[in-house]
Amino acid sequence: MPLDLDIGHRSRRLEQLQQTLTAASAGSRVELRGSLRDGMADLYSDIDLLWLVTAARFGAACDTLEQTLATIDAVDALRWDPDTDDPRRRLVFARFVDDPLFWRVDLEIRAEGDSLLQSPTLPDQPWSQTHSALMCAVAAIRALLRDESAVAAQLVSSGFEKIHIPVSGGSAPDQILALTDTIYDADDTWALLATRVRDLHQQALIDS
């Protein structure tokens, strides 16, 4: 089945996110980031947002984010960037069950104002390099659809590096499939996501 992306669905999802996040924390506002902000988004672009909340409500906004997003739709994944060392900033990657893998939500949450900062609870969640490798595969597929073969090659190489496996031979599409199959065969935890990435590979690069 060829890749079928409904840009209207992404627009509705963006509107839902803006409305829900703004309502979830008094005095907050949501701004676009990245290609959406710059007017450069295409069919494959993810959803980059900045959520500005008051410092006194920063912790609560972060701690209840998963519940907040679940009021929009079922959340498939929620990952907090472990490398964020600014106490007034958090970066989270979210994915809804019913959304294409391309349309991940990359949400920066930032505290603003001079009120006393309420810090969030540290998430009890290990950062999975295997998950990151699969996201590299998704990003590489996106790059190929944009005719960015060099970018795709770099992303595939990064994916293999994350799981400590030498980069396989062949074309970039072959390497993406090899990366995905390696994870599927080696780690049952990520077999379902690997299957989704493999299906995306088929729809985007083979059937189209």
Q: Provide the whole-model pTM.
A: 0.94
Q: CA 188: distance to chain centroid?
A: 21
Q: In what order do the strands lie in the sheet with 75-80?
A: 29-32, 47-54, 105-112, 89-96, 75-80
For the chain, the structural domain boundaries read 7-112, 129-207
Distance CA 158, CA 137 (A): 9
CATH class of 7-112: alpha beta
Q: How confident is the model at residue 122 (pLDDT cuts 50, 70, 90)?
A: confident
Backbone angles phi, psi at 205, to 5 degrees: -110, -20
Tell me, what's the pLDDT at 83?
84
Average pLDDT over residues 80-99: 93
pLDDT reading at 208 higher than 90: no
pLDDT reading at 1 higher than 80: no
Average pLDDT over residues 187-197: 95
The pLDDT tens digits for 40-60 are: 999 999 999 999 999 999 999
Higher-scoring residue by pLDDT: 124, 179: 179
Radius of gyration of the chain (CA): 18
Q: How confident is the model at residue 75 (pLDDT cuts 50, 70, 90)?
A: very high
Question: Which tokens sit at 48?
Answer: 């980059």
Segments of the chain assigned E as strands:
29-32, 47-54, 75-80, 89-96, 105-112
| Cβ atoms of residues 108 and 91 within 8 Å | yes
Mean pLDDT (the chain, rounded): 95
Those residues with Cβ within 8 angstroms of residue 138's Cβ, 6 or more apart along the chain or in another chain: 101, 102, 104, 197, 200
Tell me, what's the pLDDT at 151?
98
Place of tokens 């995306």: 200
